[in-house]
Amino acid sequence: MDLKICYGLIILLIISTGTTFAQESLISIQTDDNNYDEGDAIVVSGKVTTVIGETPVILQLFSQGNLVDIAQLTVAQDGSFTKTFLAEGKLWKKTGEYTIIASYQEHQIETGFSYTSKSEAVVITEPYEVDAGSYGTFDVKYTIKGGTVKKMVVDSNMFAVVVQIDATDEGSITLDLPREFIGAEKQDGKDDTFIILIDGIEVPYQEPDVHSESRVITIEFEPSDSDIEIIGTYVVPEFGTVVMMILVVGIMMTVLVARNKFPISI
């Protein structure tokens, strides 16, 4: 008798476990990223394994237990669905972990992501003393979001400034490049485009405004990026003049010392 009860319990456990797995696998969801900032588009996509008539998928988005947004989605014939939430508005003020719950009939599944509001976003803005080797140094003002600047150096052979970053997330860096030290110009003196390489791959950049004393460019990067090369048509040209002046002064001093040490009588 006890053996029959034991077998019965085992069968019930197997059925119960199988039902649970079926419920969990009936619907799946994911986001296109794990971290978002205010103003970002949050793309939620998923799929149901069995389409049940015209039953919709209900998406609910929560922050610390408070409902932020809700959507009712029509499921495609292949079971897929997608929804884009825009992370802005009065309900998107709290930085922290957000939860998305997807419901399909009695089945539910959830996922989450991290969100940072503009008021709490970490943005670093400061000048950096660029190392130009034997030519000296000059300052470049910059703003970076999503990482930190490790180093800035001049590559005189490439007419470039190389920025080494530690990218912790998707982000961007804005560089205020002084024209007297680095630039990209055509033969007629007008502005030309910079060549921007991230880890050896050419990428676009933004330069919305034109400034007389500098060129302000913004470059977007990914979490795995490290080396950004800004290549122009000249770099630290005035240091070449300084070096020549120092050389001339040095030669003159050498001549004067030699004349004093070995006077020439006429």
Is beta strand 107-116 parallel, antiparallel or unpaired with respect to 96-104? antiparallel
Judge contact between 96 and 120, C-beta under 8 A: no
Contact assessment for residue 225 and residue 148, using Cβ atoms and an 8 Å cutoff: no
Contact in structure between 174 and 223 (CB atoms under 8 Å): no
Task: Enter the DSSP assignment of 194.
Answer: P
- Report pLDDT digits (tens) over 176-232: 999 999 999 999 999 999 999 999 999 999 998 889 999 999 999 998 899 999 999
Backbone angles phi, psi at 134, to 5 degrees: -70, -10
Amino acid present at 60: Q
Q: What is the DSSP letter of 193?
A: P
% of residues, the chain, pLDDT over 90:
58
User: Is residue 236 within 8 Å of residue 182, measured between CB atoms?
Assistant: yes
Separation of alpha carbons 217 and 171, rounded Å: 14
What pLDDT was estimated at residue 71? 96
Residue 266, class by beta-carbon neighbours within 10 Å (0-12 exposed, 13-18 middle, 19+ buried)?
A: exposed
Element (H, E) at 238: helix 237-261
Q: What is the pLDDT of residues 143-169, one digit of tens each?
A: 998 889 999 999 988 999 999 999 988
Residue 229 neighbours by CB under 8 Å, 6+ apart: 155, 158, 160, 161, 162, 163, 195, 196, 197, 198
Distances in Å between the alpha carbon of 259 and those of 72, 164, 245, 262, 263? Answer: 94, 50, 21, 5, 5
Give the per-residue pLDDT at 19.
41
Contact 179, 172 (CB under 8 A): no
- Where do runs of H (alpha helix) occur along 79-152? none
Residue among 35, 42, 167 at smallest CA distance from 95: 35
Each residue's pLDDT tens digit, 59-111:
999 998 899 999 999 999 999 999 999 999 888 988 899 999 999 998 999 99
Please report, to the nearest 10 degrees, the dihedral formed by the alpha carbons of residues 41, 80, 64, 20 taken in order: -160
Does residue 112 have a pLDDT over 60? yes
